């Protein structure tokens, strides 16, 4: 390779975040480049879940008054600084799909200007479009797709709400949140930002960008664990403007009054629905407490340096094997490298996984490698690239076993 192992090790010696790797537990011999799908386990998470299990055993139902019930708001306040939000503007609850539905109903329920269009983006992770279509079908709204690569301003006529991802899940392309938020507001619409591939991957400044609404997940870069709850952000000035449509009892102004009629809480709590899992919240809380110590600019610098190292190590190899690097340039990407090979991409990823290098594959032909600065070293990245070269140059990806598809890949 054109980049030496000594160079990677020197980058590790200079890395201000190197100490965080010891806060995670990964299988021996695994090089994990799939944190953009499921983050690794923080070492503290196991103990946190065990403590909650003990609390359940010893305190039984009393545990709800000892930190379980208010966890959605407490964890939201832990997460808020990572998102550039203030205390009381984030609640950890449900999943992205449900949270988008809540915000669509909340926003459109306030409008009196006749705008009846919800715009989502073609080429985005499909659940955002699916839930927008479902909301429109049952709410008598019109759903439209923003064509991939189209100018947003050309598609805002009649639009009430736009649903956009800050980072595209396929290419990793990063949008200018401040400029787009301003543009949408100037056209009289609102925007819901999906932060699934940016929260914990790069600095986010919701308040500074003028964003009013956002959703995101915690099981990717934030390492909350499989099935960890999502989060929902509403700017403080826009929290008491109407109902959200999933009006569950935990979002009631007085949930334990057990009143017949619904009255929404006057703050971010109104976006809660029903009972959550104290166990999975405890695992996430252990991770978010660690995130309070992370310098987000240092995280961003390392992320870009790692993805650039990976690309540099493979630069001379891709064209001869018909692989396209569709990763955006540094200032316009999230924390992943995206390579495209519609013929052999699936088999290459499977051959890498067999070697302990775990990335992921998305149809058609997309190989994604997520770079998570807290538990990856530069040497890890170099070694992953070495394996990639060997998989191609040896031809082992041609083995029939690597071409067998399963339901989840």
Looking at the annotation, which residues are catalytic? Answer: 125, 194, 219-220, 368
Residues 230 and 83 sit within 8 Å (Cβ to Cβ): no
Could you tell me the CA-to-CA distances from 159 to 148, 174, 189 in Å, in that order? Answer: 17, 23, 6
372-390: b (≥16 Cβ within 10 Å) or e:
bbbbbbbbbbbbbbbbbee
| Phi and psi at residue 343, to the nearest 5° | -90, -50
Q: How many CA atoms are closer than 13 Å to the CA of 330, on its beta-carbon side?
A: 13
Where residue 223 falls (left for φ over 0; alpha for ψ -120 to 50; beta otherwise) is left
Helices (H) and strands (E) in the chain, counts: 10, 15
Rounded CA gap, 388 and 120, in Å?
Answer: 35
Angle, CA of 183, 185 and 186, to the nearest 5°: 65
The CA-atom distances, in angstroms, between 121 and each of 91, 102, 151 are 25, 19, 11
Residue 270's nearest CA partner among 307, 312, 242, 289 is 242
What lies within 8 Å, CB to CB, of 167 at 6+ separation is 173, 174, 175, 196, 197, 198, 201, 202, 333, 334
Among 165, 203, 220, 166, CA closest to 81: 203
* End-to-end Cα distance, the chain: 29
The neighbouring-strand residues paired with 252 are 264
Whole-number Å distance between alpha carbons of 214 and 234: 7
- Is-contact 284 224, C-beta < 8 A? yes
CB atoms within 10 A of CB 405: 9
Distance CA 370, CA 35 (A): 6
């Amino acid at each position: 390779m054109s980049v030496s192992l000594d160079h990677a090790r020197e980058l590790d010696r200079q890395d201000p975040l190197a100490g965080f790797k010891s806060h995670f537990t990964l299988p021996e011999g695994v090089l994990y480049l799939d944190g953009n799908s499921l983050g690794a386990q923080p070492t503290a998470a196991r103990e946190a879940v065990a403590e909650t299990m003990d609390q359940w055993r010893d305190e039984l139902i009393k545990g709800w008054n000892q930190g379980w019930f208010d966890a959605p708001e407490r964890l939201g306040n832990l997460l808020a600084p990572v998102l550039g939000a203030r205390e009381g503007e984030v609640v950890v609850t449900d999943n992205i799909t449900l949270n988008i539905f809540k915000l669509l109903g909340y926003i459109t329920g306030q409008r009196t200007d006749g705008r009846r269009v919800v715009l989502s983006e073609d080429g985005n992770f499909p659940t955002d479009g699916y839930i927008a279509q479902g909301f429109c079908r049952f709410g008598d709204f019109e759903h439209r797709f923003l064509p991939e690569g189209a100018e947003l301003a050309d598609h805002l006529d009649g639009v009430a709400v736009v649903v956009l991802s800050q980072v595209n899940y396929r290419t990793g392309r990063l949008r200018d949140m401040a400029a787009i938020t301003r543009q949408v507001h100037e056209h009289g619409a609102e925007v819901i930002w999906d932060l699934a591939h940016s929260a914990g991957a790069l600095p986010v400044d919701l308040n500074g960008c003028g964003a009013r609404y956002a959703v995101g997940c915690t099981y990717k870069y934030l390492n909350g664990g499989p099935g960890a709850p999502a989060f929902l952000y509403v700017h403080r000035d826009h929290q008491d403007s109407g109902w959200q449509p999933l009006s569950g009892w935990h979002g009631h102004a007085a949930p334990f009054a057990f009143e017949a009629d619904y009255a929404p809480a006057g703050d971010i709590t109104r976006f809660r629905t029903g009972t959550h899992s104290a166990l999975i919240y405890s695992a996430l809380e252990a991770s978010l407490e660690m995130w309070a110590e992370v310098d987000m600019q240092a995280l961003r610098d390392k992320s870009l340096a790692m993805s650039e190292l990976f690309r540099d190590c493979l630069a001379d190899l891709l064209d001869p094997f018909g692989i396209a690097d569709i990763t955006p340039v540094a200032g316009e990407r999230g924390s992943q490298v995206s390579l495209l090979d519609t013929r052999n991409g699936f088999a290459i990823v499977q051959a890498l996984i067999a070697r302990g290098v775990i990335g992921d594959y998305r149809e058609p032909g997309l190989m994604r490698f997520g770079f998570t600065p807290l538990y990856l070293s530069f040497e890890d990245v170099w070694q992953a690239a070495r394996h990639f070269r060997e998989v191609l140059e040896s031809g082992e990806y041609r083995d029939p076993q690597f071409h067998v598809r399963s339901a989840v890949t």
